[in-house]
Structure 1
């Protein structure tokens, strides 16, 4: 982990150990920026990042079509009893019918896990 100091297990454990109020809104990071003399505009920006629209767009353009293609075959997660294929299909159809910021992003882990299982099991 010498090449990835921010991913060191010790640093991750330290971050998990910190009180929640110190972690909320990256408080320690913001205090450090303020002490370095950065403006309040930099330390506490008005616009916070929100990638929900981009995530919704990605699901609509790539995730849902991929999932629909996998429905034509057997879903590994359904075969193993982890998901109900018909409920997943209904959730996919429902999510695809709403505006991108409102898309149910909880479908992403299901799609990515199915893709990963297919890769591991040679079902690409």
Structure 2
């Protein structure tokens, strides 16, 4: 079931890790704005999980994004942050690809966008 989805281009991204952090931040903001309080968050980027689980302040080039994500996670009542295999993250990859090649900039709430239905199901 698709509760929400977002696809948007990001300029100025310097690395895959930077993009993964930007995507996490956008997703967490969407969760908070939709009032979702008990969520399972999945990512195929182990480095993001490590960064978000770290107790030290992040002073890397994307440290401010990581710190934003940590603050947003603290605003969610109950969450789990779980690693998944890259092959299980097809919806995310489809949305990222479409945002990068066609400058798709949209979000969907309480519906499954046609552009991901085949991957989701």
Structure that is richer in helix per residue: 1
Larger relative contact order (C-alpha < 8 A, sep ≥ 6)? 2
Bigger Cα Rg? 1
For the criterion TM > 0.5, the same-fold answer is: no
Structure that is richer in strand per residue: 2
After TM superposition, the score normalised by the length of structure 1 is 0.22
After TM superposition, the score normalised by the length of structure 2 is 0.23
